[in-house]
Structure 1
């Protein structure tokens, strides 16, 4: 006699599993239970039919419940997803990058939850590979907003400076019990995702972090609209602040908000500490040990914040390279110093530049403020008698 469970499976395929709200994770969970070894009983036909109706109704009920805008979809806590990462794994170019297509080109809904989770998990995987293993991350795959993309680029660079030199390559990510919520708005709605991840190392140990995302549908493609990783030591916590919940999916279209992060002058925690100490007495010894790019970032930071006294103190103290005195500097009118917005553009992407030493105590930082390799800028540096790099007068011309 045919196994009655086969009929149940066929019925589910034709009913519950046809509903896109009943996601892949739910479907796999039911399949696991169907294929779990168990005793076979001969069920009367009416009992089999009743069982089918109950299971189908239950699936439809859960699918309907998920249609509400505040209803979460969560991965099964006892079956977390994991991603194996090899030490040298990177973008090989042999496989086409996936495109995260919306169910409906013109709108977003909870039907896109599974694809949104896939998008964010892939982004997290490439992110942790980039900051620990030094591989490339193609942010164009995940992010549509240029302002957010630039911020995340700087975030990746900063975190790699912190972790990339450590002997702790990432082996595997385990995704915990994630949550998705849909909200309506005048732009077609957005998905909020809360995804905990456990980062495991090749040589033992690891740590956990929680990350929040907003996802939108842009011309039929799902893209990340905001990305915040919590925890007191994270880049987002230090730069964006302690707020643990992202609240505005359009924050990266806010010019006032973006101005805080687009300058390229954002300091790492150790640079901020040096700046705060140096600002007190302008003691050049506080700069000892800093690389030229860090010194240049301090100057850019001081210029943006109109801290002209500190900016002057960062200039070279080699007598044959001093162009004007501190007293003369204090007489320069504000109108001749340039605005903060001009400083943003002048020093944009300075932190991603490369230092080129041209002599025993001279050099410059080569950088591209507009991202165009043909529009190159240079920031001149001079090493003083004590071996400390300082800013040349008129560093960018």
Structure 2
């Protein structure tokens, strides 16, 4: 399938990957649908536990958000730690914090399997307004006092140590965060999974999950019928195609990235080589690649139709932050859909022997790997940690099949307008 949004820096610099021909039968213990971070990490973790696994991907490994995102590794969830504690109480907040802040499964996977994906340390959230910085100072105090977690507030006067832009009013720096080449991480997971015995089938779309027979569940694909005791639906933005009722819990938002040519002054733009995301509702996020390009994401669209010229669409956002490279040559422009939930928390759960995880809301580069591994734990009979994430509250978007996305778009536009009005 030709994808007009796939002209990415990541695709151009990805490690070679070709799945081995699958000569096995069409029965397995676990069938995984989706070749992104969630599906790959779940498949690998299941194989490590001795399950036979078939992973089916409609396109190619890392085709969706896992291979197109900004490469930012941001510990935690879209809710701050203090928000989680205020909403859920101390005990539950502690459990969520241990999972989503302290337990960096991406770093562990990279180390265990020697995945070459340009991993770098450090993430900075930049304050768009003084009020945002005040909130960051309070959060840093909560992280240190309540959770014993190391983060650092950065005063406005000290921001040049991280970013050569006058726009921001300070920030919060997390040394446990970082950035990486997401598609090469996905390819590395795929290679590790295949070496562990996972059979990977690309370019084979699943059309139906047939539960009419409890054992096995049958996946009807374009090429075959797969029988499995367990199924993991890790299709994220496309989950509604297979399970329409789960599709009601997310709406897709189109997001766009550019990569400049290699820049002679790259280290002057981001001296600490941290990934940066700002505090606006429609945020900018950016980092340096291993070959000193600026990878910049900015703006979003609520229509599925991409801009005619992605580079021209994103450039003004980059120029606002870094006027000194406003006219830099842009070598790549790409985009994709981000599945967003109503409350920005992921929607994870189980229905019989079918597990699902989706709606990471633009904050999934770390949590997706965790979710996949927790599904494997639950499948093996230890569900306590899985239940912590599965118990996060979730609500479908109102409006039904036809009005859900228009109503969600109106709400998103309102929050975007508040950004512009200050």
Q: What is the TM-score with the length of structure 1 in the denominator?
A: 0.22
Which is greater in Rg? 1
Q: What is the TM-score with the length of structure 2 in the denominator?
A: 0.21
Whose strand proportion is higher, 1 or 2?
A: 2
Greater relative contact order structure (CA < 8 Å, 6+ sep): 2
